[in-house]
Amino acid sequence: MNNFTSRLLFFTVALAVTLHGEAPANAPAAGGLRYTITVIKFENHSHYAGPFALDDCWGAVLTDSLQQSGHFIVLGEAEMRTAAIAEQDFARGGRAATGDKSPSTGVMAPAQLLVKGEITHFQDGTESKSGTVGFGGVNLGLSGSTSEVNAVVYIVDSSTGQVVASKQVTGVAKTSGIKVGLANSKWNGDVGQVKSTNVGKAISAAINEAVVFCISQIPNLHWSGDVILVKDNKVYINRGQREGVAVGQLFKVGIAETLRDPGTGEVLDVNFTQMGQIRAEEVKEKITICSVISGDKIDKGMNVSP
């Protein structure tokens, strides 16, 4: 190996480490009252014909970014959940070994929110190459380029199927001097690998905008829980650390009546009659034990709201 190749190898490894470095995951948004959310596969209408399946890349990076934000309870994408259901059915069929680790039915968390959309445009800018050196599946092109991706993002309420918010997002990535590319023709599922390319940087920029948009919609969404037990002057609710509940947080307790259109069955509004107020005293992963601040008719089955 000559000196030039040795220096190039060192530079490439250092560059890869820098590009693949990820920011640490944000802590859960305590008191932010998080929702379960899942990404539905985006439709690719951009006619992109590069080395990646753009829709698969988008779904993987969006799922990862929502998880890293700490503002949502992120569930697996649709195909992952379908695979999990298949494993549960296999375990119940009597052909698999049974035990405490066997997949169980009836415990999968439902998604309250669905994120779906369309990739409407992708353009990888032209470039003027002065040379390319490659080895180990990594190409270094001595050039500059611009990539741009556009998408429409929808947030859907899974209970009603209604689009509650939507936004067009754009991601632009520009490089000059060095462009890192991949010699293989297919994406292998490595999110870090995607993010290190110009295509991936453009996707990441658009998805960052999409995640900020999703977080901004949280105050406009209806968050609720239920009283699951009342015992020894304590009220147990089915929301906990996972949902962002914090010690000292106050909740209203009462009866929620859903108002529906008699002709279509569409939910028009929720009429909430407050019966009391409770305060979070002990917060566990999935439940919270509360003290009663006001009200003497709080019962199991009542609704809880911020």
Q: What is the pLDDT along the chain (306 residues), one digit of tens a residue?
A: 444 333 333 333 333 333 333 333 444 444 567 888 999 888 888 877 666 677 888 888 899 899 998 889 898 776 666 666 676 666 666 666 665 555 555 456 778 899 998 999 988 764 444 445 444 444 444 456 788 889 999 999 887 788 889 999 999 887 654 444 434 434 445 555 555 677 778 888 999 999 999 999 888 887 889 999 999 999 999 999 888 899 999 999 999 888 877 887 777 777 889 999 999 999 999 899 999 999 988 999 999 988
Mention the CATH class of domain 24-75+111-219: alpha beta
If one counts every other C-beta atom within 10 angstroms of the C-beta of residue 86, the result is 11
Task: Provide CATH 3.40.50.10610 ranges for the chain.
Answer: 24-75+111-219
Q: Tell me which residue of 122, 121, 108 sits closest to 38, measured CA to CA.
A: 108
What integer pLDDT is reported at residue 255 of this predicted model?
92
What integer pLDDT is reported at residue 191 of this predicted model?
54
**CA 232 to the chain's CA centroid:** 38
Task: Provide CATH 2.40.10.410 ranges for the chain.
Answer: 222-305
List of E strands, 100-249: 113-124, 132-135, 138-141, 145-157, 162-175, 179-182, 225-231, 234-237
What integer pLDDT is reported at residue 238 of this predicted model?
92
Task: Name the pTM for this structure.
Answer: 0.64
Q: Tell me which residue of 168, 144, 306, 290 sits closest to 298, measured CA to CA.
A: 290
Instruction: Specify the CATH architecture of the domain 222-305.
Output: Beta Barrel (2.40)
What integer pLDDT is reported at residue 304 of this predicted model?
93
Residue pointed to by tokens 């050039």: 143
Rounded to an integer, what distance in angstroms lies between the CA atom of residue 204 and that of residue 213? 14
Three state DSSP letters for 136-152: CCEEEECCCEEEEEEEE
The answer to whether 297 and 305 have CB atoms below 8 angstroms apart is: no
